[in-house]
Structure 1
Amino acid sequence: MEVLTAWAEGAAQVIDLGAVVLAVAASLDALIRAAVVFFRPHEMYRTIRWMLGRRLTLVLELLIASDIIRTAINPSWLQLGQLGATVVLRELINYTLNRDIKEAGSVKTEAATNLEK
């Protein structure tokens, strides 16, 4: 059982590390793109924000997965409560990010349709 616990904790740490690397890479990419288009039309910022939102949504899902793994190997009422609160907060953030992504996607589609006319 100790081997499985150690393996699961290691897996959770790898997932956490991967999520941090992805978050930093996504943020740096968005920062560089925003700097390049600083004096260009506003639509470019929506596209950058949309891309960043999609990537951060994946990061949040990975962080939830690592929290679930940790709680599975060390279940206590405190851990379960913290996991529940964390999941609720992250899912709320995830929901708003997804809503913004959909809105940005519909704006992009609408703009493309208007250009075709």
Structure 2
Amino acid sequence: MPEATSIVEHNVILIVGWVKLGIEVFGATLVTIGVGVAIVHWVRTVRSGKEQDFAQTRLILARYLSLALEFQLGADILGTAVSPSWDHIGKLAAVAIIRTGLNYFLMMEMKAQAPLDNHAAKLESRETSLSGADP
């Protein structure tokens, strides 16, 4: 019966490895999409001739990076769940601390920018209504 257990264990490790790879690829895809969206936003901002405030472009990229970091961390946790050696656990702890720290600072930056965006939208709305563009 130990042979059946080792076959099942081997298959579980194999499946988890593929799932982990899929999650890592998805996280990398999110980073790629985020960079693409941020570049498109930046190009539109530059072409519009408006005041070039790149904070919105940075926030777009930050949102994608934050989400991708969460997926990458999830993939690392999944990988460690099936092969929990002290070496893997130590590496996971280091990676988790780094990724959580990066995510924390990205979130702080997004929260700090949100009130500025709301204020700018209110000013723009007020200017539009004063110019008579809105009925």
TM-score by length of 1: 0.91
Q: Which blocks of at least 5 consecutive residues in structure 2 are unaligned? A: 1-8, 127-135
Separation of aligned partners in 1, 2:66 and 2:51: 26
1:107 positional shift: 0.6
Aligned-pair identity (%)? 23
Does the 8 Å contact 2:45/2:52 carry over to 1? no
1:98 pairs with 2:107: yes
**Which segment is superposed worse, 32-41 or 54-63?**
32-41
Query: In the alignment, does 2:60 pair up with 1:20?
Result: no
Provide the rounded CA distance (Å) in 2 between the counterparts of 1:30 and 1:113: 24
Q: Give the structure 2 partner of residue 80 of structure 1.
A: 89
**Structure 1 partner of 2:15:** 7
Question: TM-score of the superposition, structure 2-length normalised?
Answer: 0.79
Work out whether 1:48 is the aligned partner of 2:57.
yes
Unaligned runs of 5+ residues in structure 1 are none
Deviates more, 1:23-32 or 1:53-62: 23-32
**CA 1:34–1:115: 2 relative to 1, 3 Å:** closer
- Please give the root-mean-square deviation of Cα atoms over the aligned residues, in Å: 1.4
Q: Report the counterpart of residue 34 of structure 1 in structure 2.
A: 42
Determine if the alignment matches structure 1 residue 110 to structure 2 residue 119.
yes
Larger mean CA deviation between 50-59 and 30-39 belongs to: 30-39
Please list every run of at least 4 consecutive aligned residues from structure 1 whose deviation after the TM superposition is greater than 2 angstroms: 112-117
* Deviates further, 67-76 or 23-32: 23-32
Question: d(CA) in 1 for partners of 2:123 and 2:31?
Answer: 34
2: CA distance, partners of 1:55 / 1:114 = 28
- Cα distance, 1:104 vs structure 2: 1.2
CA radius of gyration, larger in: 2
Aligned pairs, number: 116
